[in-house]
Chains A and B, each alone.
Chain A
Amino acid sequence: QQQVKQSPQSLIVQKGGISIINCAYENTAFDYFPWYQQFPGKGPALLIAIRPDVSEKKEGRFTISFNKSAKQFSLHIMDSQPGDSATYFCAASKAAGNKLTFGGGTRVLVKP
């Protein structure tokens, strides 16, 4: 059972454009939803995270939108840059320091 579903699997966006990645979860016990960025051959790095008590969180060019009733959350990357080309994973857990369940990942390519 895939508890966190992520889409799309891949995404191509022009420099300056907006990248949008969506995730849906099933387990209502999840209460912490981070996004990680991973470059080839490296471990994932935390980008931004949100808890269900807020509907949106913004940090620089990265914004998470959260819809608790729909059990969905999304990542928006504004003004996408070639350096943003990476694989992005959404995840969920029952607490910030607890084990994470990852989505399938989205490979983002930003064309110059």
Chain B
Amino acid sequence: GAVVSQHPSRVICKSGTSVKIECRSLDFQATTMFWYRQFPKQSLMLMATSNEGSKATYEQGVEKDKFLINHASLTLSTLTVTSAHPEDSSFYICSAAVGGSYNSPLHFGNGTRLTVT
């Protein structure tokens, strides 16, 4: 079945530094990928929609200059958390559908646990 892979699974960084998270579709091409954030014991909140070859679409309240998204190929989207602060500590999860098809469900990666100290 469709597999979405994220890297790294865990990252600890110091306040003020930037962190890049990769999301890959391993056995399919994804023109669209979605980035979610999940705080402990809470639900998943959509941050942005990543579109291959074009600018990402951000949800209301998400700072696009802080959360940089690049979708340079049909199998890779990256999320860079710039100038990270402790409040950015969260579980970041990406998802994608096979070819963005209407009938294909979203598959999620295993997430990246970001801890900012």
Contact = CB atoms under 8 A, between A and B. Distances in A.
Contacts of A42: 110-111
A83 B30 CA distance: 32
Nearest to B9: A41
Contacts, number: 64
Contacts of A93: 106
Interface residues of B, number: 29
Question: How would you classify the secondary structure of chain B's contact residues: helix, strand, loop or mixed?
Answer: mixed
Interface stretch (A11-19, A67-75, A101-109): A101-109
8 contacts: A34-B105, A43-B6, A44-B44, A44-B108, A96-B97, A96-B105, A100-B46, A101-B46
Interface of B: 4, 6, 32, 34, 41-46, 49, 93, 95, 97-111, 113
